[in-house]
């Protein structure tokens, strides 16, 4: 029995030495695992929402309620605001528009070179219930719409052109009339 214990102890010692030396298990087959690069590892917090800033309304213009991201709308500069204010203060806007133009301007793609700013409001004589025939025999309704179109350089936000107009159509002017209040190009 002592002999058997001696052989067993020797065998255990040999196995321990082989394991310590890396033999006996598949340590040769195992590859060393690279540590993750801490700089590129990103922790994602699924609960955190991105911060989105709503475009700011002006004295005479407002964005529709579905415009909720200022990065997707062209910037309105103080120079543009002056043209909007000058035009809006000279016209009477329909009560449903609460005295403001609707700014429907969007940046359609991030690479555009020119931003297009488009605003509109209806006047107090605008009435879709009053219909009449124009000279072409088409049935049209009474219109009074104010438009502001501007173009700005996308890189600098510098104003390139301004056009403020009034479009009217009523039984006295059946084929419509456009009056340009401001029409300027800056080069």
Sign of the torsion formed by the C-alpha atoms of 150, 157, 70 and 90: negative
Report how far residue 98's alpha carbon sits from residue 137's, in angstroms, rounded to the nearest whole number.
Answer: 35
Q: Residues 22-34: what's their mean pLDDT? A: 54
Q: Rounded to the nearest 5°, which phi and psi values hold at 19?
A: -65, -40
Band (pLDDT 50/70/90 cuts) for residue 53 is: confident
In a domain, 16, yes or no: no
Domain of 172, in residue numbers? 61-185
Report how far residue 163's alpha carbon sits from residue 152's, in angstroms, rounded to the nearest whole number.
Answer: 12
In a domain, 99, yes or no: yes
- Mean pLDDT taken over the chain: 83
Tell me how far CA of residue 60 lies from CA of 47, 89, 100, 148, 165, in angstroms. Answer: 38, 8, 4, 12, 16
In a domain, 172, yes or no: yes
Tally of domains in the chain: 1
Question: Given this model, what pLDDT does residue 110 score?
Answer: 85
Report how far residue 84's alpha carbon sits from residue 109's, in angstroms, rounded to the nearest whole number.
Answer: 25
In a domain, 17, yes or no: no
């Amino acid at each position: 029995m002592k002999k058997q214990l001696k052989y067993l102890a020797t065998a255990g010692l040999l196995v321990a030495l082989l394991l310590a030396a890396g033999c006996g298990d598949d340590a040769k087959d195992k590859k060393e695992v690279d540590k993750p690069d801490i700089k590129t590892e990103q922790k994602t917090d699924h609960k955190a929402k991105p911060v989105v800033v709503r475009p700011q309304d002006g004295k005479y213009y407002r964005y529709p309620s579905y415009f909720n991201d200022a990065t997707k709308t062209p910037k309105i500069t103080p120079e543009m605001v002056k043209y909007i204010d000058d035009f809006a203060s000279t016209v009477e806007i329909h009560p449903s528009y609460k005295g403001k133009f609707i700014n429907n301007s969007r940046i359609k793609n991030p690479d555009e070179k020119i931003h297009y700013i488009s605003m509109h409001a209806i006047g107090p004589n605008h009435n879709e219930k009053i219909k009449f025939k124009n000279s072409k025999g088409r049935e049209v309704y009474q219109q009074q719409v104010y438009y502001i179109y501007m173009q700005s350089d996308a890189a600098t936000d510098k104003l390139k052109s301004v056009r403020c107009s009034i479009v009217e159509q009523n039984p006295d002017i059946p084929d419509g009339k456009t009056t340009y209040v401001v029409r300027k190009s800056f080069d």
